[in-house]
């Protein structure tokens, strides 16, 4: 079978016992694409993340990473290609320091010491974690523990990054670091699939939106216009983020969904000078 | 009526030398919603733990100053998945766990549990095993468990972190309802855009100390915007080079717009 996409789901279904959590889900994510995976609570997002990471295997269909069928690989082997962040990842750190934890993945993959060090330091830098590198993960607040787990996923420099709620509880500065780091990994060719309820973060960082509803694929399209449409989002349990709502309310040209674009549009109308 | 008073509270965790709270004074009255904002690590979570009498009682460490509580309090942690009792095999029993520990009669427990499930829109989950829930479903269950105990002082750390956007809106509406019933509410949140419509007062924490206390209008000031604590609308207005005072919300912006 010809597999061009980095990540590809083909008619994927999964049930926990009698209840179907995912039904006939198909989509592809190419190298360098930045995709938001959205949907109401219970829509099936985390289930899909677990399937891509190989922690669960589909009951129907196939999840492909590169040419690998994830159902036939152990999670340890998949870690060569998939970096994942789980929703409650703050509980998954086990090393004595943040630095050791971030380096765990590359070390386990057998990279030489200098390469492990480069990846670890780059990931710590990218997420502004250097100040905490020597701290015990459990002496950090949960939001920073999760950030450390994200650094561990980035340090794998994988072909697919699948992240479940990477920004919960983060302040604006840290969210911007996460956004920059994700953009950079996508530029280097990673396929990004990011589960988030933070639609402002999604708007700033990602550009395609896949929405699940009741375990089915409800939309797969460019993110910006979708985020501007309150009527389309409502039945999916979603609400336009503030920038999109402002654009609509003030009828800003181009209906921007990113802060900087909205400030420019506003400045043009008001005749002021944008300061962003 | 004051439900919670902190007087010059300084708090040290056992593992760190610098205090996590520095001389924090704050009073919270019945019927009032106070939002705690600040950067990660600024002290909001610690303040809630102190208010809930978990710090230093459970966390260890040392506290100076005085804490007065004239209320039964309940807290939702930023990691609600660590708050399951582990003693219940259904959501209904999980939500009933707190009230049962208060020694209430059965019919009182049932009334409070059913009401809490309705308020969190999770009646349909009542028979589910709590350990199989999705993140947002679980966060609702933990909040329901707190409300079922009918506390006078409600302490919430990032209560919308796992909720879908529509669910987050419902949560904020619910807090206003609870305040209307006389509960005192302290909520730490990074969802700054929700604060203007929810909070009566905002406490801006920085490095463990109170940097400012005021109305939500605080979140439209230059100083807050500089520190990443302005609302989205205020930041956009400012970045566009428009004159202060900046609008706080989309509704404010519409009013201001010619
Ligand atoms: N172990 C399990 N056993 C039974 N049902 C489960 C299990 N895990 C999840 N579910 C159910 O499967 C559905 C999908 O759950 P999933 O965790 O994938 O949702 P989600 O989209 O990630 O939601 P959230 O936004 O709340 O995190 C939900 O109805 C959930 O209750
Ligand atoms: Mg989930």
Q: Write the DSSP symbol of residue B218.
A: G
Pocket of ligand 1 (CB under 6 A): A 16-17, 19, 21, 39, 41-47, 87; B 132-137, 162, 164
- Cα–Cα distance for residue pair B143/B76, rounded to 1 Å: 6
Q: The whole model's pTM is what?
A: 0.96
Q: What are phi and psi of B225, to 5 degrees?
A: -60, -40
- Cα–Cα distance for residue pair A233/A253, rounded to 1 Å: 21
Q: Write the DSSP symbol of residue A235.
A: G
| pLDDT tens readout for residues B58-115 | 999 999 999 999 889 999 999 999 999 999 999 999 999 999 999 999 999 999 999 9
In chain A, residues under CATH classification 3.40.50.300 are 1-81+158-228
* Structural domains present in chain B: 1-72+151-214 (3.40.50.300), 87-149 (no CATH), 219-258 (no CATH)
| pLDDT tens readout for residues A183-217 | 999 999 999 999 999 999 999 999 999 999 999 99
Whether the CA torsion B128, B133, B137, B140 is positive or negative: it is: positive
Q: Write the DSSP symbol of residue A244.
A: H
Q: Are A195 and A163 in contact (CB under 8 A)?
A: yes
**Predicted ipTM of the assembly:** 0.95
At the fourth CATH level, which superfamily is domain A1-81+158-228? Answer: P-loop containing nucleotide triphosphate hydrolases (3.40.50.300)
Q: For chain A, what percentages of helix, strand and coil (3-state, to nearest 5) are there? A: 45, 20, 35
List the residue whose alpha carbon is closest to atom 27 of ligand 1. B135
Q: Minimal CA–CA distance to B168: which of B225, B234, B121, B115?
A: B121
Residue A124 pLDDT: 98
* Run of H or E including A221: strand A216-222
Q: Report CA(B134)–ligand 1 centroid distance (Å).
A: 4
Contacts A–B by Cβ distance under 8 A: 144
- How far lies A12's CA from each of A15, A52, A210, A220, B20, in Å? 11, 11, 15, 15, 48
pLDDT band at A4 (very low <50, low <70, confident <90, very high): low
From B166, B229, B237, residue closest to A239, measured CB to CB: B166
Classify A142 in phi/psi space as left (phi over 0), alpha (psi -120 to 50) or beta.
Answer: alpha
| pLDDT tens readout for residues B149-205 | 999 999 999 999 999 999 999 999 999 999 999 999 999 999 999 999 999 999 999
Q: Are B221 and B227 in contact (CB under 8 A)?
A: no
């Amino acid at each position: 079978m010809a597999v061009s996409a980095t990540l590809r789901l083909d008619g994927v279904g999964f049930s926990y016992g009698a209840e179907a959590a995912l039904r006939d889900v198909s989509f592809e994510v190419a190298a360098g694409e930045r995709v938001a995976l959205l949907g109401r609570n219970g829509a099936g997002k985390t289930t899909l993340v677990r399937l891509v990471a190989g922690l669960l295997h589909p009951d129907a269909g196939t999840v492909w990473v590169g040419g690998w069928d994830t159902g036939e690989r152990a999670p340890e082997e998949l870690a060569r290609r998939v970096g994942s962040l789980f929703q409650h990842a703050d509980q998954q750190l086990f090393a004595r320091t943040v630095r050791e934890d971030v380096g765990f993945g590359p070390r386990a993959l057998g990279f030489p010491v200098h390469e492990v060090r480069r990846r670890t330091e780059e990931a710590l830098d990218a997420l502004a974690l250097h100040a905490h590198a020597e701290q015990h993960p459990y002496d950090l607040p949960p939001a920073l523990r999760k950030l450390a787990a994200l650094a561990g996923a980035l340090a794998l420099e994988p072909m697919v990054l699948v992240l479940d709620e990477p920004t919960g509880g983060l302040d604006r500065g840290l969210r911007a670091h996460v956004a920059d780091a994700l953009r950079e990994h996508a530029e280097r060719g990673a396929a990004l699939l990011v589960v988030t309820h933070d639609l402002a973060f999604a708007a700033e960082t990602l550009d395609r939106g896949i929405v699940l509803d009741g375990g089915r694929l409800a939309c797969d399209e460019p993110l910006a216009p979708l985020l501007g449409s309150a009527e389309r989002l409502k039945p999916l349990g979603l609400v336009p983020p503030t920038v999109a709502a402002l654009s609509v309310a003030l009828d800003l040209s181009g209906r921007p969904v990113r802060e900087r674009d909205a400030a420019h549009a506003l400045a043009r109308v008001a005749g002021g000078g944008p300061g962003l | 009526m004051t439900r919670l008073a902190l007087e010059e509270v300084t708090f040290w965790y056992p593992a760190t030398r610098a205090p996590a709270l520095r001389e924090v004074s704050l009073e919270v009255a019945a019927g009032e919603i106070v939002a705690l904002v600040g950067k990660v690590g600024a002290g909001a979570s610690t303040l809630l733990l102190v208010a809930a009498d978990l710090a230093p009682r459970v966390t260890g460490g040392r506290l100076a100053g005085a804490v007065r509580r004239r209320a039964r309090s309940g807290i939702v942690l930023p990691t609600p998945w660590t708050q399951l009792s582990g003693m219940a095999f259904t959501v209904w029993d999980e939500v009933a766990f707190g009230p049962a520990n208060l020694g209430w009669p059965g019919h009182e427990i049932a009334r409070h549990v059913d009401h809490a499930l309705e308020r969190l829109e999770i009646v349909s989950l009542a028979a589910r095993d709590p350990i199989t829930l999705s993140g947002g479903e679980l966060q609702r269950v933990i909040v329901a468990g707190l409300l079922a105990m009918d506390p006078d002082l409600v302490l919430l750390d990032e209560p919308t972190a796992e909720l879908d956007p529509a669910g987050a809106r419902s949560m904020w509406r619910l807090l206003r309802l609870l305040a209307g019933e006389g509960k005192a509410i302290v909520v730490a949140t990074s969802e700054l855009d929700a604060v203007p419509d929810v909070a009566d007062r905002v406490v801006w924490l920085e490095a463990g100390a109170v940097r400012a206390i005021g109305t939500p209008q605080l979140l439209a000031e230059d100083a807050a915007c500089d520190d990443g604590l302005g609302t989205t609308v205020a930041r956009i207005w400012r970045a566009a080079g428009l004159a202060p005072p900046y609008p706080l919300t989309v509704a404010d912006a519409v009013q201001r717009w010619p």
